[in-house]
Structure 1
């Protein structure tokens, strides 16, 4: 299992915009081509916006389904705020899928 360290990828503590979310999602997709699963390490990230998380997790849920997320993507080092934003986005995205 490979790890993507979000703080190292962006070199900032606060993540916003769909453009940044697209960068992370593409990195996840690239990693999953060579590994069955990936850890997304949010250690050092203080703030994420809904649009950032939607571009990463919302798009993946709508395109590949919730079971894909559960089977291939693990979250670590996330603050309670980041976890709650991910859960919120996944919740409404699976209803739209």
Structure 2
């Protein structure tokens, strides 16, 4: 099984804007597609804004599907603030998809 560690720290300590989120999402999609399991590693990242979390992670749901995203990814070293924003973004994106 090919496991890949995707290090968010390589994009900065503070991840806060949609433009960066879009760029990281493109790299992340390629990584997910070429690996069986991807560890989303947030070591060294202090801030993940809601807009970055939505653009980078939550927008993967309509692209890859929720089940595939859940099966192929796991989080590591994510602080409570970042975790909260990622969860909010994922819930909002899922509620949008479910209401369509």
In structure 1, the partner of 2:19 is 19
Q: Which runs of 5+ in 2 are unaligned?
A: none
Structure 2 match to 1:76: 76
CA distance in 2 between counterparts of 1:71 and 1:49 reads 24
TM-score by length of 2: 0.86
1:32-51 pair list within 5 angstroms: 32-51=32-51
Moved more, 80-89 or 32-41: 32-41
How many positions carry a matched residue from both structures?
A: 95
SS in 1 for 2:43: coil
2:5 corresponding residue in structure 1 = 3
Equivalent pair of 1:22/1:55 in contact (CA under 8 Å): yes
Q: Root-mean-square deviation (CA), in Å?
A: 1.3
